[in-house]
Amino acid sequence: MTDTGKKLRIAKFLKIAISCSLLTLLALLTAAALRTLSMDVNAGLQLATWEKTANITLAIDRDQREQLLANLKEAIRIRTVSTSRTDINTSALLHFDRFIRKAFPTVFSSSLVKHEVVADYSHLFWVQGSRPELEPYMLLAHIDVVPAAESDAWDVPPFSADEKDGFIYGRGTMDDKSQVLAILQALEYLLMKGYAPQRGFYLGFGHDEEIGGDDGAMNIVKLLKERGVRFLFVLDEGSAIFDGILPGLDGAAATIATTEKGATLLKLSVSMPPSHSSMPPRETTIGILAAAVKRLEDNPMKRLFGLGPERGMLEHLAHKFRFPLNFIMSNLWLFSPLIARVMEKSPTTNAFVRTTTAVTMFNAGVKENVIASHAEAFVLEFVESTIGDPRVKIEVVSGFDPLPISPYDERAFGYQLIKKTVLDMFPSVTVVPVTLKKV
Ligand SMILES: [Zn+2]
């Protein structure tokens, strides 16, 4: 073949290759554009509309508002602290029992409501619906709190429920007495206005959630199982309405947690016979352990972005962003590798991208001139092969698997009902599914 013939063939090949690439790119961009334009984040909402009790106004008067505030403050002042399985404040839990009976008299006297105390301090309520063929749902919250000491840099004493700059401060305001009180208070006011639901529902308030819920939640589950109760959905404490959840997002996002990330607490340790610092061995326990921890930090677990519920979250938020972000976020099938690289740069968004590793405690050494015989590090999440050193002993302290992902599509009645309720109360927010991350 002549040189000219060769060149012509190469030119022809290049032409075809470039045309093919352009066509592919065009097809991908057309598909992405169609998806951006056709995505309807509010599909499925109609599922929830019929449940709305239209004849009852949600408005409350000034006195009721004052009462509501006073009730929340009183609840926070009751020190229902769970420290350990053998150390829970039982007298405060009994006090809380007396408090809710006094604060919500209509709930406790209504013929529609059945209340029972479970495991001495937890509470189970059944609110009967007019249509027993409808599967009930359940709302959960917990009445215990983790310990709080005034020395922990609180702006106000942690059980004072003092108001400062328009906010109520105190242990349990967020986690989780606000939820207990919101549920009971809403039910109290609704019942006072003659509310009678079509669909029955349960309320469950555990007393030992902060130490595992083995007594309260477990016994409520046992009881309901024995009775053969099945739920349409269960709503527990979880997420909230956030401002600034993603850089560039205007307005607040109401996040419904549809799953929770798993977590493992590992303890790493290295043991060697003790020696004096004047005659140190070539490697010390601290050196070996520090090297292992450094390897863990240098080798994060692989990116899994775009495969979990974060996909739904970004797609639901996409329409709140301008071009090109809306285009990119509506098409994670195409752009997830790109977004993942951007998100992993920030610690707050890196957790959306992968299983993260965090060294949380490091103890070693008893005295400055004695080389430690035992060094410990607590490491969350761990890849054994990353450490690759048999002298580092690895023990699992505790852990739990990620929860199954609850459905949040346009056929998921529970999700749509919660979303509709949020939008009724906060019309300007964007409602998105998220993954809860334990801290
Ligand atoms: Zn909680």
Residues with catalytic annotation? Answer: 144, 209
CA 393 distance to own-chain centroid:
31
- Tokens for 306, please give them: 């775009």
How far does the centroid of ligand 1 lie from the alpha carbon of residue 383, in Å? 29
* 266 Cα–ligand 1 center, Å: 23
Q: Model-level pTM?
A: 0.77
- pLDDT means per 10 residues, the chain with 439 residues, are 77 86 84 76 72 72 94 97 93 98 98 98 97 95 92 88 93 95 96 92 97 95 97 91 76 89 79 73 83 85 75 80 81 82 79 72 58 49 69 77 85 91 90 79
Phi/psi for 156 (5° steps) reads -135, 160
pLDDT at 375: 45
| 1 Cα to the center of ligand 1, angstroms | 78
- On whether the CB atoms of residues 405 and 291 are closer than 8 A, the answer is no
- Distance (angstroms) between ligand 1 centre and the Cα of 141 equals 7
How far does residue 145's CA lie from ligand 1's centre (Å)? 8
Whole-number pLDDT of residue 50:
62
Does residue 93 contact residue 207 with C-beta atoms inside 8 Å? Answer: yes
Ligand 1 centre to CA of 154 (Å) is: 19
- Name residue 378's beta-bridge partners: 267, 361
Ligand 1 center from residue 438 Cα (angstroms): 11
- Residue 81: the pLDDT is 96
59 class by beta-carbon count within 10 Å (0-12 exposed, 13-18 middle, 19+ buried): exposed
The predicted structure's pLDDT at residue 379: 47
Q: Residue 75: its pLDDT value, please?
A: 98
CATH architecture observed for domain 262-400: 2-Layer Sandwich (3.30)
365 Cα–ligand 1 center, Å: 35
According to the CATH classification, is domain 51-237 in 3.40.630.10?
yes
Are 62 and 434 in contact by the 8 Å Cβ rule? The answer is no
The alpha carbon of residue 214 and the mean position of all alpha carbons in its chain are separated, in whole angstroms, by: 20
Q: What's the gap in Å between 237 CA and the centre of ligand 1?
A: 6
Locus of tokens 């109609």: 46
Contact of 330 with 39, CB cutoff 8 Å: yes
- Residue 181 Cα to ligand 1 midpoint, Å, equals 14
Map out the domains of the chain as residue ranges: 51-237, 262-400
Report whether the peptide linkage leading into residue 274 is cis, meaning its omega lies within 30 degrees of zero. no
